Amino acid sequence: MVGLLAALASCSPQPEALTTPCGLVVDGSGSGAATRQGFDSEAKLKSSLIGFLRDQKCGSLDYAPITRASQTSTCREDRVDLDPPHNATTDQESLRNKARGAAASRALAELACARTQNGSDVWGALARIGESVPSADAGAKLLVVSDFDQADPEFALSRASISTEGARKKVIDSLVDKRGLPGIKGMDVYPVGFGMQYNAKPSAYKDFESFWLEAIEGRAKAHVHNDYR
């Protein structure tokens, strides 16, 4: 009987391999607090990550924090394999669910660390995740849990003039000249919490959104999606 069951299991169709490389960027700045003025980054992370991993068929997950200097931050979590090795009799979906749970735990650890290094260097975090996630040729997907309010020791977007296309171009030119482009070309970027600080300022939000679309899609050549926003 045991041999028969093993034979039947070995003949059962196996789930399709999960091969999509994925990345997670989490915002540790003060604006991500669970307050009336904050966008509650922890709640956004908990509500979006597992669904994102399933929807995008993520086979691995890399991490990057948003801090005052994201590229040099000491907050680091190792890549998680979301499609662990298995054999013909393995409950593969159970293994995958455990891996997703482990990935979620590491995401919360990354967020907790980022909150000890307060700041909002979104540009640097995009550059860092671009260095970690495998090539966009494999269809890489990035979940970015942040309001995208760039505010690091050298540059604060709130103080920049971005009300016209020309003004936005100058600001982006300056960022690219000083820090280069994040290596996310061809990747799919899914923001969560984007622009929530502008929920009472629709005209300011429009300029803010235009800035980031021009920076991410126009310059970095990635693709922005609103599935989880």
Q: Mind giving me the DSSP string for 17-76?
A: P--EEEEEEEE-SGGGSSSSSS--HHHHHHHHHHHHHHHTTEEEEEEEEESTTGGG-S--
Q: Say what the pLDDT of residue 4 is.
A: 45
Under a CB-based contact definition with an 8 Å cutoff, are residues 197 and 151 in contact?
no
The 8-class DSSP code of residue 219 comes to I
Query: pLDDT tens-digit profile of 60-76?
Result: 999 999 999 999 999 99
CA–CA distance from 111 to each of 8, 44, 117, 146, 150 (Å)? 44, 12, 10, 11, 17
Q: Say what the pLDDT of residue 12 is.
A: 57
Judged by DSSP in three states, 227 sits in: coil
Write out the H or E segment, with its range, that includes residue 208.
helix 202-213
- Pair of tokens at residue 165: 């296309």
Query: pLDDT tens-digit profile of 87-108?
Result: 777 788 999 999 999 999 999 9
* Residue 222 to residue 217: CA distance in whole angstroms: 5
* Residue 159 to residue 89: CA distance in whole angstroms: 59
10-33 core/surface letters (b: 16 or more CB in 10 A; e: else) = eeeeeeeebebbbbbbbbbbebbe
Strand pairing class (20-27; 80-81):
unpaired
Quickly tell me which residue has 């070995």 as its tokens.
10
Please give the backbone phi and psi of residue 29, each rounded to the nearest 5 degrees, phi first: -75, 165
CA 63, 114, 196, 222 dihedral sign is: negative
Beta strands in 67-217 (DSSP E): 80-81, 141-145, 188-192
- Pair of tokens at residue 200: 């009472």
Start-end of H helices in 115-186: 122-132, 165-179
Residues of the chain scoring pLDDT < 50: 4-5, 7-9
Under a CB-based contact definition with an 8 Å cutoff, are residues 172 and 214 in contact?
yes
